[in-house]
Amino acid sequence: MNKNLSQIAVIMISIILIILIFQTFILNQNSMYNYVGIIAFAIFLIISIHDLKNAEE
């Protein structure tokens, strides 16, 4: 995949992950779906960072 698209994906997933963490732990909106979402987006972020390292210019 293109390196620019990989960078955009990493930024967007990071923003969503930060919002989920803020909502869950700062606003105390504890829900099983929030925890599952945090785990899922953390895995997506790891995959996207790995893809970014292997992306072509």
Mean pLDDT in order along the chain per 10 residues (57 residues): 86 96 92 94 94 81
| pLDDT score, position 57 | 67
Residue with tokens 């390196």: 3
How many domains would you assign to the chain?
1
**Domain assignment of residue 42, given as a range:** 3-54
CA distance 51 to 57: 12
Look at the alpha carbons of 28, 34, 39, 41 in this order and tell me if their dihedral is positive or negative. Answer: negative
| pLDDT score, position 5 | 87
Distance of CA 22 to the CA centre of its chain: 13
Q: What backbone torsions phi and psi does residue 55 show, to the nearest 5 degrees?
A: -75, 150
